[in-house]
């Protein structure tokens, strides 16, 4: 199999995602995957730092503390540094979890192969951030930003499904199921926990 | 080749957008910066019990140390870009001398040509009103608690408690009034008179300051100054407050008084707090630790001397 450069991988994710994910997982390009994933994460974090000020009020967490909008950059800076480590950890855990589910659904890929593909699936963050910034500069309506976010979200979901499908040799339906199962489990767990908490906390009679 | 060019272009555009976002951040919609470049409204917070010294409250808790605040006021006075200052007050009052120290610095700020607007939050009573009265304008919320113009001195006589505990105080003093106000015995009639005279004197000073600051006749201020608190709306009707509105109304008013057009730049004057110290430690490295550590260390002593300070009397 002919090797691809990093730039060709990036191009491929946008225009030939199926072949690219297949290639990345076959060659288990984990280093590139981590590099792209952390780079994309840092880019998003830095864009947030640049545009953070108006989102926070000019007051401290409590009296005597510096105004939030003044330390927003610092806070996000700390968040970005810690966030990269956490995000990479999250990528590892997600790859392990999805690989486990994929295996249970009949997948035949490897965990490292899936990890190599998953890191590239978040690349649409770049065009989304650029579009958001342009929208802000041009003062486009909020609707534009919402639609852009929806497009970005759908794009990432499609890429995640393709990454799962090509890395684990699953059918499209099973890849969708592998992606959705953790979220469905989380949803069910949340509902069960909410019911249990409500049962414990609800008073025996009505009270006002 | 085409693939590499596309990917390279995408990365280059992303880098350019990032740089542009940092470069244009102050010009983006919703950001301050509409005024003439450099002209700004300074914001100084006076929150918590007003006390002397540099204290800002133990572990970030509320306390307005007069030293810290007058340093901020002096910094605002020296900064040629600061055309107006909003004093954001959220205080029940506190030490009379501390309030006096701050209000003197507010007067100097005004004499230096800066406009000063007091913005009242939940409360700006007693010593808080003392300070607010020195501003060009006062803006309060309709439900703000203000007023409480008066002086109180509270002493506790714990003689009976000491007796029950089997404690006896031995006092050696240079004069008959050196232990005046001691918790080990009741006040004598003469001592009560002396202390009442002090309270009356500080009260007269308070009246004078309010009358001059607000441009009200002394007699009218005396009528209002029976120690009661007023809501912001009542205070406006009585002439103790100029306008009803929130913090941003006060900022707009300050900017308009100073002739700043458009949305003003805001400059916050705040001494480093433990949180600030922590944030800066992460973002700027260890060098940020040294200048910020000292005030925080002093905060630790606040709880020890705050109680006696209040017991000995204040504009509350």
Is the pLDDT reported for residue B115 higher than 50?
A: yes
**B57 vs A: CB within 8 A:** yes
Q: How many CA atoms lie within 13 A of B186 on its CB side?
A: 3
Highest mean pLDDT among A132-141, B13-22, B206-215: B206-215
* Per-residue model confidence (pLDDT) at position A53: 55
pLDDT band at B20 (very low <50, low <70, confident <90, very high): confident
Q: Do B22 and A50 touch (CB under 8 A)?
A: yes
Nearest to residue A167, comparing CAs of A208, A116, A205, A96?
A116
* Spatial distance between the Cα atoms of A94 and A100, rounded to a whole number of angstroms: 10
* Per-residue model confidence (pLDDT) at position A148: 87
Nearest to residue B76, comparing CAs of B97, B51, B50, B105?
B105
H-helix or E-strand containing B151?
none
Convert the pLDDT of each residue in A40-89 to its tens digit: 888 888 887 777 655 455 555 555 555 566 666 666 667 777 888 888 99
Phi, psi of B288 (to 5 degrees): -70, -15
* Spatial distance between the Cα atoms of B162 and B183, rounded to a whole number of angstroms: 9
Which domains does chain B possess? 29-151+217-311 (3.90.226.10)
Q: Do B3 and A8 touch (CB under 8 A)?
A: yes
**B18 vs A: CB within 8 A:** yes
* Per-residue model confidence (pLDDT) at position A48: 76
Terminal Cα-to-Cα distance of chain A (whole angstroms): 71
Is the pLDDT reported for residue B27 higher than 70?
A: no
Q: Which residue has the tokens 């709880």?
A: B303
Read out DSSP for B75-99?
A: HHHH-TTEEEEEEEEEE--B-HHHH
Determine contact, residues A128/A146, Cβ cutoff 8 Å. no
Q: Do B60 and A65 touch (CB under 8 A)?
A: yes
All residues of chain B having their beta carbon less than 8 Å from the beta carbon of residue A5 are 4
Phi, psi of B29 (to 5 degrees): -60, 140
Please report, for chain A, the start and end positions of each structural domain, with discontinuous segments joined by +: 6-201
Q: Do A50 and B25 touch (CB under 8 A)?
A: yes
Give me the interface pTM, i.e. the ipTM: 0.73
Q: Which regions of chain A are under pLDDT 70?
A: 1-2, 52-77, 200-208
* Per-residue model confidence (pLDDT) at position A135: 83
Q: What is the mean pLDDT of chain B?
A: 81
Q: What is the DSSP letter of B25?
A: G
Taking the alpha carbons of B87, B88, B92, B95 in that order, is the dihedral positive or negative?
Answer: negative
Is the pLDDT reported for residue B290 higher than 70?
A: no
Q: Do B3 and A130 touch (CB under 8 A)?
A: no
Averaged pLDDT for residues B115-122: 96
* Per-residue model confidence (pLDDT) at position B53: 73
* Per-residue model confidence (pLDDT) at position B62: 53
Nearest to B90 among A63, A70, A71 (CB): A63
Number of H helices, E strands in chain B: 12, 10
All residues of chain B having their beta carbon less than 8 Å from the beta carbon of residue A136 are 28-29
Active-site residue flag, B178: yes
* Per-residue model confidence (pLDDT) at position B245: 95
pLDDT band at B73 (very low <50, low <70, confident <90, very high): very high
User: Which residues contact residue A160 at a Cβ distance below 8 angstroms, ignoring those fewer than 6 apart?
Assistant: A118, A121, A179
User: Which residues contact residue B64 at a Cβ distance below 8 angstroms, ignoring those fewer than 6 apart?
Assistant: B45, B46, B47, B48, B49, B50, B51, B56, B91, B94, B98
* Spatial distance between the Cα atoms of B307 and B296, rounded to a whole number of angstroms: 19
Convert the pLDDT of each residue in B52-65 to its tens digit: 876 555 444 556 78
Smallest CA–CA separation between B197 and chain A, in Å? 35
Active-site residue flag, B220: no
If one compares B7 and A163, the residue with the highest pLDDT of the two is A163
Angle of helix A111-118 versus helix A68-104 axis, rounded to 10: 140
Is the pLDDT reported for residue B30 higher than 80?
A: no
Read out DSSP for B214-264?
A: HT--HHHHHHH-SS-EEEHHHHHHHTS-SEE--HHHHHHHHHHHTT--SSP
Terminal Cα-to-Cα distance of chain B (whole angstroms): 78
**B295 vs A: CB within 8 A:** no
* Per-residue model confidence (pLDDT) at position B74: 93
């Amino acid at each position: 199999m002919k090797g691809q450069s990093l730039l060709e991988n990036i191009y491929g994710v946008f225009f030939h995602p199926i072949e690219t994910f297949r290639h990345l997982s076959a060659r288990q390009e984990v280093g590139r995957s981590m590099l792209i994933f952390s780079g994309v994460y840092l880019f998003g974090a830095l864009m947030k730092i640049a545009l953070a000020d108006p989102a926070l009020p000019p007051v401290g967490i409590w009296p005597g503390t510096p105004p939030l909008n003044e330390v927003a950059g610092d806070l996000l800076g700390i968040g970005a540094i810690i966030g990269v480590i956490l995000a990479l950890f999250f990528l590892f855990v997600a790859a392990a979890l999805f690989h486990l589910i994929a295996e249970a659904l009949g997948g035949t890929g490897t965990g490292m192969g899936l990890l190599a593909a998953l890191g590239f699936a978040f690349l649409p963050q770049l065009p989304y951030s650029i579009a958001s910034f342009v929208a802000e500069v041009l003062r486009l309506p909020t609707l534009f930003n919402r639609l852009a976010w929806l497009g970005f979200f759908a794009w990432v979901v499609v890429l995640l499904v393709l990454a799962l499908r090509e890395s684990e040799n699953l059918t499209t339906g099973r890849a969708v199921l592998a992606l959705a199962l953790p979220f469905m489990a989380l949803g069910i767990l949340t509902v069960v926990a909410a019911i249990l908490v409500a049962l414990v906390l609800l008073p025996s009679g009505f009270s006002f | 080749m085409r693939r590499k060019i596309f990917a390279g272009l995408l990365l280059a555009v992303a880098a350019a957008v990032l740089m542009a976002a940092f470069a244009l951040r102050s010009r983006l919609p919703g950001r301050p910066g509409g005024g003439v470049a450099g002209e700004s409204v300074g914001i100084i917070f006076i929150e918590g019990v007003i006390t002397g010294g540099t204290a800002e409250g133990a572990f970030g808790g509320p306390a307005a140390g007069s030293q810290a605040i007058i340093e901020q006021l002096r910094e605002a006075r020296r900064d040629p870009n600061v055309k107006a200052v909003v004093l954001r007050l959220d205080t029940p009052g506190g030490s009379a001398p501390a309030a006096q120290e701050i209000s003197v610095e507010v007067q100097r700020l005004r004499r230096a040509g800066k406009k000063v607007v007091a913005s009242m939050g939940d409360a700006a009573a007693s010593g808080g009103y003392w300070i607010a009265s020195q501003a060009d304008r006062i803006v309060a919320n309709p439900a703000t608690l203000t007023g409480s113009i008066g002086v109180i001195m509270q002493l506790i006589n714990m003689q009976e408690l000491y007796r029950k505990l089997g404690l006896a105080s031995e006092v050696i003093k240079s004069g008959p009034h050196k232990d005046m106000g001691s918790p080990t015995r009741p006040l004598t009639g003469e001592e009560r008179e002396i202390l009442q005279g002090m309270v009356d004197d500080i009260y007269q000073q308070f009246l004078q300051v309010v009358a001059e600051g607000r441009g009200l006749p002394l007699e009218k201020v005396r009528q209002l100054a029976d120690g009661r608190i007023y809501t912001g709306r009542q205070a406006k009707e009585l002439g103790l407050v100029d306008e009803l509105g929130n913090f941003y109304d006060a900022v707009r008013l300050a900017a308009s008084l100073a002739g700043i057009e458009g949305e003003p730049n805001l400059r916050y004057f705040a001494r480093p707090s433990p949180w600030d110290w922590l944030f800066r430690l992460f973002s700027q490295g260890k060098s940020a630790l040294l200048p910020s550590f000292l005030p925080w260390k002093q905060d630790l002593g606040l709880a020890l001397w705050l109680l006696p300070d209040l017991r000995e009397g204040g504009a509350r």
